[in-house]
Amino acid sequence: AQKITQTQPGMFVQEKEAVTLDCTYDTSDQSYGLFWYKQPSSGEMIFLIYQGSYDEQNATEGRYSLNFQKARKSANLVISASQLGDSAMYFCAMREVYTGGFKTIFGAGTRLFVKA
Amino acid sequence: DTGVSQDPRHKITKRGQNVTFRCDPISEHNRLYWYRQTLGQGPEFLTYFQNEAQLEKSRLLSDRFSAERPKGSFSTLEIQRTEQGDSAMYLCASSSPAGEITDTQYFGPGTRLTVL
């Protein structure tokens, strides 16, 4: 079973509008962390935002916010006021305990296209 | 303040040759990770160092792969007898001491390997 599921292979958004990128995860742990990364065509993974499983407030970082719904095991990324530079791949990731330690697992990503 | 750097950025090699990649983490970071990313997928964990100790290796890391971090600073990833299936982006990430779940990894630009 997939640990991290990103169901939208590609998304289009008009410049200056908001967009939500979906992420659902699968874990039986109580303590875990959720991350979003942006990967432009240059290839570098850029950290955007983090949400801990015990955090009661949704995380926000500038134009990025994480819509965390623990019971539904979803951690959607919301980008407000989209800019042309937001066009990139976006990866959702989860860090959890497993036998022997901790690991970070990434989803397959969503490609976002921002239209002028 | 420099980020994670990787060298080379691109490598083209013939099947059967050995290749070595280098990663220089953010200077105060004691954790260093190697990932492999193939087209259309998220990064897959390969191995992890805390200081100079290699604490974890994925089953993806076959006998042909070896990683070192001799002085707890830069790291090298060597692939011996390369195969066409090794063609991928190899990403390095580093993180500073933090809680295990909140460990935020910062990535380098990656090394794109093409095996002919």
Which residues on B lie below 8 Å from A46 (Cβ)? 107
pLDDT in tens, A70-87: 999 999 999 999 999 999
Of the candidates A116, A111, A21, the residue with the CA atom closest to the CA atom of residue A74: A21
- Helix, strand and coil in chain A, % to nearest 5: 5, 55, 45
Query: pLDDT above 90 covers what percent of chain B?
Result: 74
Are the beta carbons of B106 and A47 separated by less than 8 Å? yes
pLDDT in tens, A37-61: 999 998 889 999 999 999 989 999 9
- Positive or negative, the CA dihedral B45, B98, B7, A89 is positive
pLDDT at B42: 94
B contact residues 12-71, partner A, Cβ 8 Å cutoff: 33, 40-45, 55-56
Closest Cα in chain B to A55: B102
Cis ω before B8 (30° cut-off from 0): yes
Assess whether pLDDT exceeds 80 at residue A94: yes
User: What's CA A108's distance to the chain center, in Å?
Assistant: 11
* SS3 at position A59: coil
Assess whether pLDDT exceeds 80 at residue A99: no
CA distances from A5 to A22, B41, B71 (A): 8, 12, 38
Confidence of residue A1 (pLDDT cuts 50, 70, 90): low
pLDDT at A100: 67
Which residues on A lie below 8 Å from B102 (Cβ)? 33, 50, 52
* SS3 at position A84: helix
pLDDT in tens, B11-58: 999 999 999 999 999 998 999 999 999 998 999 999 999 999 998 888
Contact of B92 with chain A, judged by CB distance below 8 Å, is answered with no
